[in-house]
Amino acid sequence: MISVKTYLYSLFLPFIFFISLVHAENRTIIPEDLWKVERSGSVTASPDGNYVAFTVTSYDIDTNSSSTNIYILDVQSGNYRQFTSSGSDRTPAWSPDSRYLAFVSNRGEGPAQLYVMPVYGGEARKITNLPVAVSAPKWFPDGKSLALSASVLPGYGGDFETLREMLTEQQNKKVTARVTENRIFRFWDRWLTDGRYPRLFRVDLETEEVVDLMPGSKRFFAMMGAPGYDISPDGSEIAVSANSNPAPYTYLNYDIFLVPTDGSGELKNITEHNPANDTNPLYSPDGRTLLYAKQLSTDFYADRTRLVFYDRETGERSIVDNIIHEENIDLSPSGYFFGDHHMVYFQAQDRAMTSLFSYDLEQGQLSEIVRGGTNSGATLAGNQIYFVHSSLTQAPELYKVEITGGNLDKVTSLNDELFMDVNWGHVEDVRYTGANGAEVQMFIVYPPDFDSTRTYPLLMQIHGGPHGIFGDEFHFRWNSQVFAAPGYVVAMPNFHGSTSFGQEFAKSIHGNHWDLPYRDIMKATDFMIDRGYIDEQRMAAAGGSYGGYMVSWIAGHTDRFQALINHAGVYNIMTQFASDVTAHREVAYGGSPWYNIDNMQLSNPALLAEHFVTPMLVLHGERDYRVPVSHGLEVYGVYKGKGLEARLVYYPDENHWILNPQNSIHWFGEFHDWLERFIGYGPTE
Please state the rounded mean pLDDT for residues 336-365: 93
CA-to-CA distance for 154 and 145, rounded, in angstroms? 24
Please state the rounded mean pLDDT for residues 188-197: 96
Residue 322 has pLDDT above 60, yes or no: yes
CA-to-CA distance for 675 and 237, rounded, in angstroms? 57
What pLDDT is attached to residue 275?
95
Residue 14 has pLDDT above 50, yes or no: no
19-23, 333-337, 397-401, 539-543: range with lowest mean pLDDT: 19-23
Please state the rounded mean pLDDT for residues 330-339: 95
What pLDDT is attached to residue 2?
35
Taking CB atoms within 8 Å and a gap of at least 24, the contacts of 116-121 are 116/146, 116/205, 117/83, 117/84, 119/51, 119/72, 119/83
CA-to-CA distance for 402 and 424, rounded, in angstroms? 29
Please state the rounded mean pLDDT for residues 231-256: 96
26 pLDDT band, cuts 50/70/90, is confident
Residue 478 is classified by DSSP as: S
- Which amino acid, one-letter code, is at 544? G
Backbone dihedral angles phi then psi of residue 377, each to the nearest 5 degrees: 65, 35
- Which amino acid, one-letter code, is at 390? S
Please state the rounded mean pLDDT for residues 530-559: 98
Q: Please write the tens of the pLDDT for every residue from 456-486.
A: 999 999 999 999 999 999 999 999 999 999 9
Q: Please write the tens of the pLDDT for every residue from 132-164.
A: 999 999 999 999 999 999 999 999 999 999 999
What pLDDT is attached to residue 108?
83
CA-to-CA distance for 630 and 655, rounded, in angstroms? 13
Residue 443 has pLDDT above 60, yes or no: yes
Q: Please write the tens of the pLDDT for every residue from 50-74.
A: 999 999 999 999 999 999 999 999 9
What pLDDT is attached to residue 266?
87
Residue 5 has pLDDT above 70, yes or no: no
What is this structure's pTM?
Answer: 0.94
Q: Please write the tens of the pLDDT for every residue from 382-415.
A: 999 999 999 999 999 999 999 999 999 999 999 9
- CB neighbourhood size of 14 (10 A): 9
Q: Which helix (H) or strand (E) element contains residue 355?
A: strand 353-360
CA-to-CA distance for 391 and 410, rounded, in angstroms? 13
Rg (C-alpha) for the chain, rounded Å, is: 27
CA-to-CA distance for 346 and 302, rounded, in angstroms? 18
CA-to-CA distance for 431 and 444, rounded, in angstroms? 10
Give all strands of the β-sheet with 197-204 in edge-to-edge order: 134-139, 145-152, 197-204, 210-212
CA-to-CA distance for 56 and 82, rounded, in angstroms? 9
Domains of the chain in sequence order = 423-679 (3.40.50.1820)
Contact assessment for residue 412 and residue 418, using Cβ atoms and an 8 Å cutoff:
no
What pLDDT is attached to residue 11?
35
CA-to-CA distance for 461 and 528, rounded, in angstroms? 13
CA-to-CA distance for 187 and 189, rounded, in angstroms? 6
Contact assessment for residue 333 and residue 323, using Cβ atoms and an 8 Å cutoff:
yes
25 pLDDT band, cuts 50/70/90, is low
- CB neighbourhood size of 650 (10 A): 14
What pLDDT is attached to residue 381?
96
Question: Which of 105, 69, 62, 114 has its CA nearest to residue 87?
Answer: 69
Residue 20 has pLDDT above 50, yes or no: no
